[in-house]
Amino acid sequence: MTQPSYPALRLRRTRAAAWSRALHRENVLTPADLIWPLFVTDSDEEEPIAALPGVSRWPVAGIAARAREAAALGIPCIALFPNTQAERRSAGGEEALNPDNLMCRAIRAIRDACGDGIGILTDVALDPYTSHGQDGLIDDAGYVLNDATVSVLVAQSLNQAAAGADIIAPSDMMDGRIGVIREALEREGHHNVQIMAYAAKYASAFYGPFRDAVGSRGLLKGDKKTYQMDPANGEEALREVALDLAEGADSVMVKPGLPYLDIVARVKARFEVPVFAYQVSGEYAMIEAAVAAGAGERDALVLETLMAFKRAGASGVLTYHAAQAARLLNG
């Protein structure tokens, strides 16, 4: 195609009026693009999280109200993360398998309140339950064991599915876990329970506030580099995604979000499957810090960053700004 040149071509022409900008807009962001991560606590009170200004841990009694709020705003799905009491954490993370753990009680409370009016996504990994803060079982040297961990993750997934989870989201980055979790879900009759694989999850410096929120920061010694990905790698992300899809993932996730938009775009272009992005805690904290410093306006920063995910090809975004964004989008 031959392009006309200036002055026949003036790209500013279609930008001149709001109606025209609306007409030519290539992507739209709606509340239905959002997944709202929520933290749950065993205490009776709402607990504000200092590292995430504006975000709290909610008691089980209060979590259903948040889910109802999400549904009313048009947010289709919430993601749950428990802050397990210290005395319930152990080297083996056994609390993850307790049918009455915080996660399962929260799932049931939301289901009772909302029926199937909202999707419940649950994180599969052991870090909220281990006394050492790693996502899996460790050997004497502190190395996270793959296959032994996967067996526990299967049991954890079945525990969450039995409590009523709609989407199982393994965030652990063990090899081979999607296939065996899918097999176990099928065997137990959970045919419609989805798997959203944290397929390309990087060993990132942006998870700090989250670890405060689930209470694992002080416990964690060392890092997660033997299982989470090297931020230098892109091709490897495509291999991770290919494996998780081949093992039966219904959708895949890239995490963190904005610093890894290139990965979102590559995954979408290569696989043409639903790709989600997680705008993680450190990204939320950066926006809030910018706002507090007078360096930007919250509403605009939130909507611009979320639209960036849509432009990159994401089907949706997990974001702690979900409720605020939905309110803005709903006018």
Instruction: Show which residues are catalytic.
Output: 201, 255
Residue 245 burial (CB count, 10 A): 18
CB of 2 to ligand PBG, least distance (A): 48
Q: Tokens 């309140």 belong to which residue?
A: 113
Q: Which residues contact 224 (CB under 8 A, 6 or more apart)?
A: 134, 135, 144, 173, 203
181 binds ligand PBG (CB under 6 A): no
What burial class does residue 131 get, using C-beta atoms within 10 Å of its C-beta: 0-12 exposed, 13-18 middle, 19+ buried? middle
Selected range binding ligand PBG among 16-24, 25-33, 206-214, 262-270, rule: CB under 6 A: 206-214
Among 149, 159, 171, 251, binds ligand PBG (CB under 6 A): 171
35 phi, psi to nearest 5 deg: -120, 130
Residue closer to ligand PBG (CB basis): 102 or 280: 280
Among 34, 49, 106, 125, binds ligand PBG (CB under 6 A): 125
288 binds ligand PBG (CB under 6 A): no
CB of 28 to ligand PBG, least distance (A): 25
207 binds ligand PBG (CB under 6 A): yes
* Alpha carbon distance 285, 262 (integer Å): 22
Residue nearest to ligand PBG as judged by C-beta position: 210
* Alpha carbon distance 138, 297 (integer Å): 44
CB of 71 closer than 8 Å to CB of 105: no
240 binds ligand PBG (CB under 6 A): no
* Alpha carbon distance 100, 98 (integer Å): 5
CB of 264 to ligand PBG, least distance (A): 16
Selected range binding ligand PBG among 19-27, 153-161, 203-211, 269-277, rule: CB under 6 A: 203-211
Selected range binding ligand PBG among 1-9, 61-69, 204-212, 288-296, rule: CB under 6 A: 204-212
Among 35, 36, 58, 127, binds ligand PBG (CB under 6 A): 127
CB of 202 closer than 8 Å to CB of 229: yes
Residue closer to ligand PBG (CB basis): 17 or 200: 200
281 binds ligand PBG (CB under 6 A): yes
Q: Tokens 């962001």 belong to which residue?
A: 29
- The residues with which 328 forms a beta bridge, in sequence order, are none
Angle at 194 between CA 190 and CA 197, to 5 degrees: 130
Among 129, 210, 227, 309, binds ligand PBG (CB under 6 A): 210
Q: Tokens 């993932």 belong to which residue?
A: 249
CB of 210 to ligand PBG, least distance (A): 3
* Alpha carbon distance 93, 152 (integer Å): 9
317 binds ligand PBG (CB under 6 A): no
CB of 95 closer than 8 Å to CB of 84: yes
280 binds ligand PBG (CB under 6 A): yes
Angle at 203 between CA 290 and CA 50, to 5 degrees: 40
* Alpha carbon distance 193, 216 (integer Å): 28
No. of helices (H) and no. of strands (E), the chain: 11, 10
149 binds ligand PBG (CB under 6 A): no
Residue closer to ligand PBG (CB basis): 221 or 270: 221
Selected range binding ligand PBG among 25-33, 104-112, 119-127, 188-196, rule: CB under 6 A: 119-127
Among 123, 212, 244, 288, binds ligand PBG (CB under 6 A): 123
Q: Which two tokens stand for residue 92?
A: 């083996």
Q: Which residues bind ligand PBG (CB under 6 A)?
A: 123, 125, 127, 135, 171, 207, 210-211, 224, 280-281
